[in-house]
Amino acid sequence: MPTAAVADPVTTRGELTKRLIVDTALRMFREQGYEQTTMRAIAREAGVSVGNAYYYFASKENLIEAFYEDMQVEHLAHARPVLDASKDFGDRLRGTFHAGIDALAPYHAFAGKFFKTAAEPTSPLHPLSSESEPARNASIALFREVFEGSSAKIDPELRDELPELLWMSYLGVILFWVHDLSPEQAKTRLFIDKSTALVDKLVGLSRLRILRPLSRDLLELIADLKAD
């Protein structure tokens, strides 16, 4: 007689331990700063052995990579109601940008300190690093859904590159948000509303024959930047 699948208690315990370590690390990063927080201190605060902490995360950078991936899950969850409710590209893009800031909001006080480390070009925490690739690909996939699930029409040659361009625009929004000291980052919200309206217009105009040369120049620039 078939029986229902039962979760492996070892796996479940391991996932709970990983979650505990990540949550403890992020709290300590917020309270003490990234550079001042050691793996040993994280393990002690989480109530696990140092060896156990290193078993799940080889370094502090790996903890931030886990944070990146968590944020992609949170971003999608916040964006889903907008994506399910509208086919309008502008609405979907604006809502998805706002959703990302909603997901990040609890970490604003910590973001400035973290950004100094992540902004270093050689850092594995850099958004363009190979270590950040899983989170980066997940974010680009979300922006692909923003466009492909919309009713927008675009120059076919730009279609493949648009999700990554939208992701890069979103990075600009995050950078603005990190430095935004206005109450509840109201300036970031205004920036999102204005900038996404502009992007919506540009996407709509991309099919006009008169703008095709500009599209080709943009595609050539992207290809040059991606070349080894």
> Structural domain boundaries of the chain?
1-58, 61-226
Helices 162-178 and 89-104 pack at an angle, to 10 degrees, of 40
Per CATH, the homologous superfamily of domain 61-226 is Tetracycline Repressor, domain 2 (1.10.357.10)
Alpha-carbon dihedral 103, 108, 110, 111, rounded to 10 degrees? 80
pTM attached to this predicted model: 0.82
Q: How many CB atoms lie within 10 A of CB 3?
A: 5
CATH 3.30.70.980 fits 1-58, yes or no: no
From first to last of its 228 residues, the chain has per-residue pLDDT tens of 444 444 455 468 888 999 999 999 988 987 887 888 999 999 999 999 999 999 999 888 888 888 888 889 999 999 999 999 999 999 999 999 999 999 999 888 778 777 777 777 777 778 888 888 888 999 999 999 999 999 988 877 778 888 998 999 999 999 999 999 999 999 999 999 999 999 998 888 776 566 666 666 666 666 666 665
Backbone angles phi, psi at 87, to 5 degrees: -100, -5
